[in-house]
Structure 1
Amino acid sequence: MKHQKYYLSKKSKLIAGVDEAGCGSLAGSVIAAAVILHPTQPVFGLADSKKLSNNKRFNLYKNIIQNSLDWGIGSANVAEIDRFNILQARLLAMKRAVQNLSITPDLILIDGNHAPRFVETPYQCFKKGDSRIPIISAASIIAKVTRDQDMVMLDIQYPKYGFAQNKGYPTAFHLNQLELYGPISHHRKSFAPIKHKIFSHQ
């Protein structure tokens, strides 16, 4: 797939890519990342995090962390997801990721059709940007690995749900375990498989 072009003014020297992970999960926070890559230390092999093997994704994660100018993580927790809805939680996590950068970018490139409102910094949205624009791919990798690590920790606390394997997504196994044991506080109560299900354990 060809890399997508974006508008770059003469003043846009520092570009941040932004993406999130975990929107479709039934459990856990939505995690966003903002990344500013180093102009003279390129990271090769960047791609949509979902299309990479675990080993390839983690190696790229380490490479991005070591060679980027700056990176930041933002999240929206389960309570915020249930309160605002997943789209607004996604935008909140993205905004927090950018706010957690120590360097202010000149331009922000965001995956998807929606973006949080950045008053002082120009930004652009790109459909499937995580597979078309390398700097957004970098952000998708950071977000995905960070969220996966969170779900592995959750798996240690609640091994019955297999969070380390399914990451809280509505796999057949996860839905079966929900049927058997009911949801925990880390499940998103506003999501249909949980909201519209009456569990015998509640």
Structure 2
Amino acid sequence: DKIGALPGQPNGVDFNHYSGYVTVDSKAGRALFYYFAESPNNSSTNPLVLWLNGGPGCSSLIGAMTELGPFRVNNDGETLFRNNFAWNNVANVIFLESPAGVGFSYSNTSSDYQHTGDKSTARDAYTFLINWLERFPQYKTRDFYITGESYAGHYVPQLAYTIFLNNKKANQTLINLKGIAVCSNTKSILLHEILILNYF
């Protein structure tokens, strides 16, 4: 999972980063892909943040490489440079490709691509987090925030509610959820379109 260096990565990178797959349904052969950038300073105390791009169907690597991730792509399309405003300067950030079929996330069961929805996406994202925390146990009790944009206005609150219900059912804090944040959300398509029209 640990990345030695990304292609075109600049010298002097002072944080660890990881990527890989986490199985969310072994019977269906369904696994979600993630990219994780630890904080260069205070990674042992900084919060854990999950980022979800929306769409639905947009890769969260868009967020990682063009918005809030630690690197940006140079004009040559081959090399990277550090993003001075990256969120991993103050948090440890997971970029999750969700649901299966988005980006590098996949399922070996074709019906998984036909029967999708916000609730099943939240269930898979929750299973991803539980299994990911087994791989990175140092984050199990860390303050955790769910963030995203666009259609993640649906994903983020549904995942937060799923975490809340499972913590309550277990009568313990399985995931230490502290808050959520959504920007440019499409919780309401009508409201989203009205806001765009008012802007112009």
Q: Which structure is higher in helix share?
A: 1
**TM-score normalised according to structure 1 size:** 0.32
Instruction: State TM-score, norm by structure 2.
Output: 0.32
The structure where strand makes up a greater share of residues is 2
